[in-house]
């Protein structure tokens, strides 16, 4: 569940399906968090199913709505096969809604709850297109800021597709944050917890935590409350269980991704992805080394 201070409790449309958000018909509820509800909807104009995410602040705030809509416009320009696109964004009754492509199937969190732990090769293979999506977004100046298994959908071919760039931030953009914290505590980077620093390396840290979760079947960072989780993120190194059968090469890749010091991490998602490629195809890595 994402941590976004300042939202009020909201029941959404309850069970009154058939209502509309904008021009879109609401058919059923797909999921909800503390700050949002996601519905299965239908676009009568284009005759297709879509997903609608509604967001509501504790108090109506035109400035915050404008920030979110500006971010949505930026994210809607992303065109990558591993990213779930935003089709439209708007306001309804003072609340923001985002319209996404509807991807039927499970998200990665649901898949892992029934399939974990994964083999090292399976985990690395599944992570690779996620890193492609993140690297592409970073190249467009966008940081995800809430990368986690529940924000990664698996399509009908079991290919991962990253979604929910709704709290993404323009790299190097001016202006304050919408809330004191944005994101999910268990996937926040140490530098964000300590200093609110956000960069591409924040997403790299989260991607490393996702790899840990695929390999072990549980989150890397747990605690009884948000503050305990944040303390552990800031003060404890991520460690794989001693009895886990993960080879040294993949362990090194994982530990580099989740280094508490961001300068010791991979400096780009592309670099992280290349390390995964070399792990999956060591003969190709040796060939390149020989050519060098």
- Which residues, at least 6 apart from 99, have a Cβ–Cβ distance to it below 8 Å? 22, 24, 41, 43, 50, 51, 52, 53, 86, 87, 88, 89
**Would residue 146 show up in a list of annotated catalytic residues for this protein?**
yes
Of these residues, 43, 132, 146, 164, which one is catalytic? 146
Ramachandran region of residue 88, left (φ > 0), alpha (ψ -120 to 50) or beta? beta
Alpha-carbon distance values, 62 to 12, 52, 95, 131, 205 (Å): 20, 20, 9, 34, 33
Long-range (24+ apart) CB contacts under 8 A made by 175-180 are 175/67, 178/4, 178/64, 178/67, 178/68, 179/4, 179/5, 179/6, 180/5
- Which residues, at least 6 apart from 268, have a Cβ–Cβ distance to it below 8 Å? 135, 138, 200, 204
Catalytic residues: 146
């Amino acid at each position: 569940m994402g941590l976004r201070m300042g939202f009020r409790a909201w029941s959404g449309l309850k069970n009154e399906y058939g209502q509309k958000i904008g021009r879109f018909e609401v058919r059923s509820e797909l999921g909800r968090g503390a700050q949002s509800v996601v519905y299965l909807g239908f676009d009568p104009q284009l005759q297709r199913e879509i997903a609608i995410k509604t967001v509501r602040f504790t108090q109506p705030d035109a400035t915050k709505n404008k920030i979110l809509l500006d971010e949505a416009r930026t994210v809607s320009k992303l065109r990558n096969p591993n990213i779930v696109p935003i089709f439209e964004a708007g306001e309804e009754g003072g609340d923001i809604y985002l319209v996404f492509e509807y991807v039927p199937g499970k998200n990665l969190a649901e898949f892992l709850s029934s399939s974990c732990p994964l083999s090292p090769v399976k985990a690395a293979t599944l992570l690779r297109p996620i890193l492609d999506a993140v690297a592409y977004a970073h190249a467009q100046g966008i940081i995800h800021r809430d990368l986690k298994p529940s924000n990664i959908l698996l399509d009908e071919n079991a290919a991962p597709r990253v979604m929910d760039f709704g709290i993404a931030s323009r790299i190097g953009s001016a202006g304050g944050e919408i809330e004191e914290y944005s994101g999910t505590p268990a996937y926040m980077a140490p530098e964000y917890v300590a200093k609110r620093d956000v960069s591409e390396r924040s997403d790299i840290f989260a991607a490393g935590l996702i790899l840990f979760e695929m390999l072990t079947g549980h989150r890397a960072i747990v605690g009884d409350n948000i503050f305990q989780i944040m303390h552990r993120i800031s003060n404890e190194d991520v460690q794989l269980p001693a009895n886990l059968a993960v080879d040294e090469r993949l362990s090194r890749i994982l530990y580099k991704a989740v280094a508490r010091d961001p300068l010791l991490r991979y400096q780009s998602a592309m670099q992280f992805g290349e390390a995964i490629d070399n792990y999956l195809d060591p003969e190709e890595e040796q060939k390149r080394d020989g050519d060098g």
